[in-house]
Every structure is written in structure tokens, then in C-alpha cells.
Chain A
Amino acid sequence: MQNAAILSNPNTAGAVGESRGVRWVLTGVALAFLGLFLFVPLAAVFVEALKKGLWAYLRSFSDPDARAAIRLTLTTAGIAVPLNLIFGVAAAWAIAKFDFKGKSVLTTLIDLPFAVSPIISGLIFVLLFGLHGWAGAWLAEHNIKIIFAVPGIVLATVFVTFPFIARELIPLMQSQGTEEEQAALVLGASGWRTFTRITLPNIKWGLLYGLILCNARAMGEFGAVSVVSGHIRGQTNTIPLYVEILYNEYNFVAAFAMASLLTILALVTLAAKSVIEWKFADEPSKCSRTEREGRPI
């Protein structure tokens, strides 16, 4: 009886799997969902940017305010990313290579900025340095501007991109252990030399991975920066903030032209990320791809 049932069930004949029809339907629905939610908005950016032709698109970038926004975005990322790089390496060195009390608490605290709403990430710096904030009066007296100025934008960006490099390096360095460094030290290498010659080459792909993701977020952050910026044209507008201003002025071509820059950055980031993942999928010790699954970038 049972044998007959098995034989009559086509699924059990070979591998377990769905019938052809079910496979087609499931694939179709999944692709339709991805198409609707990912591909359509992606295409919309470029279609809207090029709606009035290539010339109008290119002219959007000649605007001085647009150039100022691009410059500010590059400056902000140029400060925030290296700061978080140094922190990331230091934190990973301490956490991955040594054992100490409260290590898991520290690891959780490093991830904290990811759990905080972007608006709150901006708010905290307004509360500290804003005109009516804790240090507001003192800063005004000494003529130092943090909020509605570039330092505030950098601070908010550092906050939101804080965990990227550390969380990439910690599991990677943990999986690599300390044997190689110990060997170098025993053979007489100095601590710094051990780090640059042994540790750094071992973590370079993980580091690059973290850098790429950190940079993408630093350049694209909107909410936190929006709170501290004050939206002063030509002065405190990053690209995402300038996109918002243009959009609210119904200058859609220019808004989507600026947005297309960020979209290209996002696509390049995804491509670079995928290349690193594929290239080192078979070398798990060099890139923490397996550890990465299921984590937001």
C-alpha cells in the first residue's frame, strides 16, 4: 500500500521538490514582489532624472548649490569614515584578541546606534550643542557653531555610521585567533610591526567591506543630518538634504539628478560588496561572509 502511495507521488520519485507549476508560480510571485518593490523605484530614479533629456540632467550638476552639497558630502564622509575606521580597528583588537569582563556588554553597546532612530541620532546632538542645549550658551559665548553647521553634520554622521567597521572586524578577528600574532611576537617583531604585517593583511578584505558600507551610509544619511543641518543652501546641505529641498520646490529633474548620484553610489556599493563576498566565499577566514548573513549592512 505504502509503496504504491510513494510511487504514485511524483515528488518522492527523485529529489524532494515542488512540481513544475508550483515552482513557476512561486518564482513568478517572488520576482514580481522584488520587481515592484526594488526594481521599479530604482528605475524611477533614472527615468525621472532624465525626463527632460540628458542636457537638463547634466545641467543640474552645474548649479553652485549642487556642487557645494557634493563637496560637503565628500568632506563629511572623509572625516567620519576614517574616525570610525580607527575606532573599529581599536575596538576589534581589544574585543577579538583579549578576554575581559563585560565584553559582551561592550559589543552590544557598540551596536547601539543601529537601534536608534535617525531622528533621535540627530536630536541627541541638538540637546547637547543646540542654542538651548546643555553647552549651547557656552558655545554661543565662544562663537563656536556646531548645530546648523558642518561640525554637527559630521558628529551625526559619525554616530550613525559608528558600528559599521567594528562589527565587521570583531567576528572576523575572533575567528582568526591570535596564533599568528603570537608567533610574530615570539620571533621578535614589535607590536606595531606585528599589527601591520600580520593582522592587517589578514583582515584587509573585512576592513574594505566595512569601509564600503560605512562610506555608503555616511554619504547617504538623511534623517540624523536633517535634524542638525538647518538646511542652509550652499553651506549645510549634503546631497540627501539638497535632494529634499529640490523635491519640495517641485524641481523634480534636479532632485532626481542628485538622487541618481546617490543611487549610483548605492549600486557601486552593492556590486563591490558582492564581489568581495563571492571572491572570498571559499576563504571564510578572510571575509566574514558567513557571519554577515542576516545583518543589516
Chain B
Amino acid sequence: MEAFSTKSIRWKNSGLKMNSASPVQGFRAPVRSRLNREKVIALSYSLKKHSILPGFELALGYTLLYLSLIVLIPLAAVFVSAGSSTLEQFWATITHPRVLASYRLSFGASFIAAMINVVFGLLVAWVLVRYRLPGKRFIDALVDLPFALPTAVAGIALTAVYAPNGWMGGWLGQLGIRVAYTRLGVIVALTFIGLPFVVRTVQPILQDLSKEAEEAAASLGAGRFQTFRKVILPELAPSLLTGFALAFARALGEYGSVVFISGNMPMRTEITPLLILTKLEQYDYAGAAAIAVVMLVTSFVLLFIINTLQKRTGRYQF
């Protein structure tokens, strides 16, 4: 009864199209008197589910308003500001040699760091899921540290460790390897911040993996490594790819943990986000916006790829 009294009604599989194969998403319509009684009864069943709760207009209205004010309008500002320069200026800015060098570093280092995380993330997830380990809960919780630790803190801590006089830096220096203030330092920082992504995407899949297939493979004479390669790895591949994409996307935009360890030398260890900041400090708003557009478009493409991947792998949201 309650459902009939409300003016507007929402439902998913519309009562009017109960037999149609494609669900009509969020179709809204007022109850009209011309609907015959049967249809109204059919409707009320499907409506009840959604219609008697109050506050839809208010909640959605506020959500859209707040989203527009905080996220959509400010983000649109980037595209509009970039549009204030001519196409030639825009192109000159985003293809300047120093900017191109920063893309190479940002993409290259992000790619290598994400690859390192695929290998070691899988290993960590494997050990955490399959083996008994003292203090496993502690280690498992610690995996999220790069998410929780502010990036500036990660930046100065990694620099302290890998600087020539630091714990690792001194030791590696004797082997002739310099980490801090080189591209290798950028890779180290990006590996740190990307570390949890692969572990956290692979872990639940590994947990749910039934051992029957492995047992079957083993009983058919496959070695352990062969079983891993032919049976387990294909199951994990989509989640590994998702974890890789997440780590890569995060690394591309990263700033705080990188700027301390990289040394920020033009053409050599300058990441793209830093160049945006440099342009901004010179009050070159259009130039900053132009580089930002390149980064935003890249991020959105990656987001789209990740969303598509996750639709396939299931429930994991970015």
C-alpha cells in the first residue's frame, strides 16, 4: 500500500516489461491511472523493493552537488585552462625535450617498479596464503604500510636508507651501485608505493583457488613447478595483470615519495608531476594544465582498462 502513495517510483526490472530480457536500469515513471489493475499489482511487487525508503532525492541531489563542486568542476578547469593556449603552444609544451624526458622516466620507472611488484607481490601473496609463518598477521598488516604511510615520510625514509651514507646506500656504494639521486632511486620509491597492489589483488584469488586441480595435475605426474606454471599461474594471471595496472597507475602520478630520492635533475631524474609543479611556480598555468591533461588522459585510459579487467576478474574495485 505504501508504494502506491508515493508519487514517483523506481524499479529495476520494470513491471511493465517483465518479460523483456534486458533489464531496464533505473527506469522512473509516475503511476498512471491508465495502467490496468494487473500491471499495477505486478508493479507494486517490483516497486516495494526500492520505493518505500525515503530520502532518495535529497541523498542523490547532495551527492551530485558535492561531486560537481569538489571533483568535476575543478577537474574540468584543467581541460579549459589547457584549451586557453593555441594548439601549437599546447603541442610545443607537451613535446618539449625536458617534458619528453620526464615521460620516459615516469613511464619507464613505473613499468619496471610494477613488474618488480608482480614478481615479488605474487611471491609474498603465495607465502602469506600457503605457508605457516610466525607473526603472519603482523606481516600481513604491514603489507599495507605504503598505503598508510604519508608519501613524504616514505620519501625521506627511503632517501635516508639509500643515500651514500645510509644503511643500504653505503653497502651498495661499495659495489659501485648508486641508488639515491639516480633513476634507480625513482624505481625503488615507486616499488615501495606499489607494493600492496599486487599482493592484495592476488591474495584473495589464491585463497579461493581449489586445490583439486593441483592435485589432479600432480597425480597425472606433473612436477610442482609444471603444475604452478600450467595450472596455478593461468588462474592468477588476470589478478596479476590487474595488480600490475593498479601499481603502474599509482606510480605514474606519484610525487611525494619520489622527489626526495630522485634528486630532480632536469632531463635525467625529473618525473612528470614535478614538471607540472615547476610550470606552476613560474605562473605558467596553461603549460602546467597542458602537461596535466596528458597525465589525466593517461590516468583515465588506465582507469578504463582497470575497470574492464576487473569486470572480468570479478569483485575488485579500484
Contacts and interface: CB of A to CB of B under 8 A. Distances in A.
- Do the two chains bind? yes
Interface string A174-196: 00001001100110000100110
Contacts of B26: 99-103
Given A34-B142, A118-B255, A127 B285 contact: yes
A266 B166 CA distance: 23
A274 B73 CA distance: 36
Given A48-B160, A118-B256, A90 B123 contact: no
A119 B148 contact: no
Interface residues of A, number: 117
B221 A5 contact: yes
Contacts of B62: 86-87, 90
A126 B150 contact: no
Interface string A232-247: 0000000011011001
A185 B27 CA distance: 23
Report, nearest first, the 5 A-B pairs whose CB atoms are least far apart.
Answer: A117-B253, A220-B150, A191-B54, A100-B26, A294-B316
B93 interface: no
Nearest to A269: B148
A266 B10 contact: no
Interface of B: 2, 10-12, 25-28, 48-50, 52-56, 58-60, 62-64, 66-67, 70-75, 77-78, 81, 120, 123-124, 126-128, 130-131, 133, 137, 139-154, 156-158, 160-161, 166-168, 191-192, 195-197, 200-201, 203-204, 211, 214-215, 218-219, 221, 223-224, 227, 239, 242-243, 246, 249-250, 252-256, 260, 273-274, 276-277, 280, 283, 285, 288-289, 292, 295-296, 299-300, 302-303, 307, 315-318
Nearest to B72: A109
B253 A116 contact: yes
B127 A26 contact: yes
B108 to A, nearest CB: 17
Contacts of A86: 62
Nearest to B168: A40
B190 to A, nearest CB: 11
Contacts of A103: 25-26
Interface in A9-27: 9, 11-12, 15-19, 22-23, 26-27
A9 B192 contact: no
Contacts of A130: 285
A193 to B, nearest CB: 11
A29 interface: yes
